[in-house]
Structure 1
Amino acid sequence: MQSQVHRSLVSADNALMQQSERNPDGWGVAYFLGGAPHVVKSVSTAVSDEMFRRVSGVVTSETVLAHVRKATQGQLNILDTHPFQYGSWVFVHNGNIAGFEQIREKLLERISPVMRRFILGNTDTEVLFYTLLSKMAERCDLERRGYPLEDLAAAARETVDSICELAGDICTEDGADPVTNTFLTFVITNGQTMLAHQGGKPLQCSTHKQHCPERDSCPYFAPECERKVEGGFVSHLVFSSEPLMGDNVWEPMQPRQMIGVDWRMQMQRF
């Protein structure tokens, strides 16, 4: 797992480190140890930050969430750098809420008071995250390790609808202005349950490889590692803003589509 993570973050021709040249406003990596998320962030550009190389080289978690930032809202500081964390949940967002400053107070009113007080930064992403957490808390205990994937997907759908009600529908036009339009592409996980939403900004999904180079030595190798799965058990699930070079087979997600897995690695499409 360690070499695979390092390749996706650093070594591949279009790894996250290289993508940071187009997204220079900070980076963050969240990984899980002993069921708890560990989050490392920097406001430096990942391609020039030695800490990014060091972190990506030691990560051996089964669940990793990484992000390089191109700021549309907020400031260039640690508080406004992804991933965002609340308890066991971590969250990254690729997008923008149109007219955020004008509708920020109305958006905050839709977040539960218990959640609202934890918002420390100035980004639309943090408001989006806590809106989602509020919707999730209405359905199930947020610290339940096996948080139901169906409840997470329903909360995400309600969150997107609530944001769009004030900011306008998500934009799906190629080349559209990233600042004046609404894009709500995001990924959220607690290390066991994970959900991705394609909200206008491209998102790629991979559940298998053409041929796993470690098929003869990997103790977790299964037939699902080398064939497409529409639903049910998957050996791995990877999301990326663009296809990463390597052995993974990638498929583009469609606007408003959601894909996730639960603690049993049972995948569902919504």
Structure 2
Amino acid sequence: MCRLFGFRSIIQSQVHHSLISAENALEVQSNKHPDGWGVSYYTAGAPHVIRSEKTAVNDNIFKKVSGIVSSETVIAHLRNATLGTVNILNTHPFQYGNWIFAHNGNIKDFAKYRDEIISKISPHLRRFILGTTDSEIIFYFILTKLSEKVELSDRHCDIESLQDAIKRAIKGLTDIIGDYYQSDDGSNTETFLTFIITNGKTMMAHQGGKKLFYSTYKVKCSERDTCPYFSPECEAPTQNGKINHLIFSSEPIHGDNTWIPMEVGQMIGVDQEMNLSIY
């Protein structure tokens, strides 16, 4: 299936190493996930999304984008198509306003449930669905639940509201399609709901069957003596409380970061003040 990468930091940082240079960088992973790529990042509070239906390892644009991106918030995605044709409209991440979403998974027998799922999406949001993937529809299903509690155009979204919206969205979806598959080794035709969503400040990931790892600290930060934001949390685990960075990846990326596997059904995220929450 697909590969996800999410990054949220207290300071603007380049993610070139994770996307290009590391031994297991996303570019390397694209050999097995060839059906398009997308990178989203935030500048001056506004999201920028660049997508292509090409394979990242063969695409000079991917290298160029990855080399210049410096942001507090980044989401990247490599697609291995299971539903929907290989084209730009079906490539992740998806965007609505400040909200960005990328998914690793599939809805089993999607054609059977598509109309019923769409019928439960807000008509205002429904008209922005442009592609043919289940992933884009899941995004707008979540936004529908979120819009019941917060104004989607508001730059502030508290972590509890986002967690509650995701929880209600997953409940609403699984009431229609059945539960998602609990093991990563299931067939690609099974239902998986692993994804990352952010508005640039608040970010949350859900482990819905497909593996996802997270990191909040490094074994030893190479910039510990020069970084003005260095703190004990940069080199020590934090269960709940303030952190300096949060990274999600479908596979551990070689480097200084310490990677922890998320549990099935677990949600992990940070708010705009970089307070870590684990549900």
Question: How much has 1:39 moved relative to structure 2?
Answer: 0.3
What amino acid is aligned across from residue 47 of structure 2 in structure 1? P
Higher relative contact order (CA 8 A, sep 6+): 2
What amino acid is aligned across from residue 274 of structure 2 in structure 1? M
Q: In the alignment, what sits opposite 2:199?
A: 190
Question: How much has 1:216 moved relative to structure 2?
Answer: 1.0
CA distance in 2 between counterparts of 1:157 and 1:72 reads 25
Within the candidate set 156, 159, 163, 2:166 is matched to 156
Retained in 2: the 8 A contact 1:93–1:185? yes
Q: Residue deviations 1:59-78, cap 9 Å, x none?
A: 01110000000011111111
Retained in 2: the 8 A contact 1:91–1:129? yes
Structure 1 counterpart SS, 2:216? strand
Q: How does 1:9-48 map to 2 (within 5 A)?
A: 9-48=19-58
Q: How many residues align?
A: 269
Unaligned runs of 5+ in 2: 1-10
Q: Residue deviations 1:156-189, cap 9 Å, x none?
A: 011111111122111022421112x110000000
CA distance in 1 between counterparts of 2:181 and 2:260 reads 20
Within the candidate set 123, 133, 136, 2:133 is matched to 123
Structure 1 counterpart SS, 2:72? coil
CA distance in 2 between counterparts of 1:3 and 1:160 reads 32
Q: How does 1:239-250 map to 2 (within 5 A)?
A: 239-250=248-259
Within the candidate set 238, 241, 244, 1:229 is matched to 238
Q: In the alignment, what sits opposite 2:83?
A: 73
Q: In the alignment, what sits opposite 1:57?
A: 67
Retained in 1: the 8 A contact 2:145–2:168? yes
Q: Percent identity?
A: 54
> RMSD of aligned C-alpha atoms?
1.1
CA distance in 1 between counterparts of 2:99 and 2:223 reads 31
Q: 1:174 to 1:189 in 2, by over 3 A?
A: closer
CA distance in 2 between counterparts of 1:108 and 1:175 reads 29
What is the TM-score with the length of structure 1 in the denominator?
0.98
Regions of 4+ moved over 6 Å: none
Question: How much has 1:146 moved relative to structure 2?
Answer: 1.7
Retained in 2: the 8 A contact 1:209–1:226? yes
Retained in 2: the 8 A contact 1:2–1:59? no
What amino acid is aligned across from residue 211 of structure 2 in structure 1? P
Q: In the alignment, what sits opposite 2:7?
A: none
CA distance in 2 between counterparts of 1:110 and 1:3 reads 39
Q: Does 1:255 align with 2:264?
A: yes
Retained in 1: the 8 A contact 2:183–2:210? no
Unaligned runs of 5+ in 1: none
Retained in 2: the 8 A contact 1:119–1:126? yes
What is the TM-score with the length of structure 2 in the denominator?
0.95
Question: How much has 1:3 moved relative to structure 2?
Answer: 7.0
Q: In the alignment, what sits opposite 2:119?
A: 109
Question: How much has 1:2 moved relative to structure 2?
Answer: 7.6
Q: 1:244 to 1:166 in 2, by over 3 A?
A: same
Q: Residue deviations 1:219-239, cap 9 Å, x none?
A: 221111000000110000000
Q: In the alignment, what sits opposite 1:96?
A: 106
